[in-house]
């Protein structure tokens, strides 16, 4: 039995056709924020990096909200969007915090080790979620890794009140604690599906962006 390759090609959508899907555009906007956070952390502009990190979370939450509101999305759109979201999460909440930590620790070996621990916990957490999803449809097993970025962004609000060395050690310990929580058996609620939490995230995003922006301006 021969397979008509041209017929199969016609049945499959093009890769770029998924860009016009609004939730995917939102996900890619979050990826742009993540890239800016990586860039600014590597250049030592950590307050700017914090702005990129918190907006990455905001766009991540927004793409899910928009996706649930749209009625005309196909099964392919939903599968592609879900896969895109997981891949971007690896970069946003695994790779980016690791780079911020190493950059702030001036790339000393201990921070490389801690960054690796955090990254391993992140990919394990995402792999587990990809297979098992939410427990009872509303709760996570372990701490969802978007919380890592929110905690780190909050932590940097106190960066100027301590020496760089002391803050770097504290930052390192917080990252280890987050990694442990990511792969733990604790049950945590899905925050992004709650309208009240969305409003709180919007206020948090605008508030810390204004704070860090004022520090950069000064």
> Does any domain span residue 59?
yes
The encoded tokens of residue 138 equal 């509303």
The encoded tokens of residue 190 equal 């899905």
Report d(CA 113, CA 130) in Å as an integer. Answer: 26
Report whether 142 contacts 128 (CB < 8 A): yes
Report d(CA 211, CA 64) in Å as an integer. Answer: 27
Give the structural domain span for 159: 20-217
Share of the chain above pLDDT 90, in %: 63
> Does any domain span residue 8?
no
> Does any domain span residue 114?
yes
The strand pairing partners of 135, in sequence order, are 139
- Whole-structure pTM value: 0.90
Report whether 175 contacts 114 (CB < 8 A): yes
Report d(CA 171, CA 213) in Å as an integer. Answer: 21
What CATH number is given to the structural domain containing 133? 1.20.120
> Does any domain span residue 15?
no
> Does any domain span residue 6?
no
pLDDT value at residue 9: 55
Q: How many CB atoms lie within 10 A of CB 205?
A: 20
Residue 10 has pLDDT above 70, yes or no: no
pLDDT value at residue 7: 53
> Does any domain span residue 82?
yes
pLDDT value at residue 32: 97
Helices (H) and strands (E) in the chain, counts: 9, 2
């Amino acid at each position: 039995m021969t397979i008509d390759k041209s017929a199969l090609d016609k049945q499959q959508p093009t890769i770029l056709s998924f860009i016009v899907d609004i939730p995917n555009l939102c996900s890619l906007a979050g990826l742009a924020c993540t890239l800016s956070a990586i860039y600014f952390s590597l250049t030592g502009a950590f307050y700017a990096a914090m702005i990129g990190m918190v907006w990455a979370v905001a766009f991540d939450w927004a793409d899910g909200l928009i996706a649930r509101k749209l009625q005309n999305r196909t099964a392919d759109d939903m599968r592609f969007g879900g896969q895109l979201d997981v891949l971007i999460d690896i970069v946003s909440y695994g790779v980016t915090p690791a780079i911020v930590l190493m950059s702030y620790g001036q790339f000393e070996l201990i921070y490389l080790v801690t960054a690796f621990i955090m990254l391993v916990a992140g990919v394990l957490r995402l792999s587990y979620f990809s297979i098992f999803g939410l427990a009872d449809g509303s709760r996570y097993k372990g701490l969802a890794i978007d919380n890592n970025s929110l905690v780190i962004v909050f932590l940097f609000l106190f960066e100027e009140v301590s020496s760089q060395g002391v803050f770097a050690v504290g930052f390192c310990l917080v990252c280890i604690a987050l990694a442990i929580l990511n792969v733990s058996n604790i049950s945590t609620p899905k925050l992004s599906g709650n309208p009240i939490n969305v409003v709180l995230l919007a206020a948090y995003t605008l508030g810390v962006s204004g704070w860090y922006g004022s520090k950069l301006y000064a």
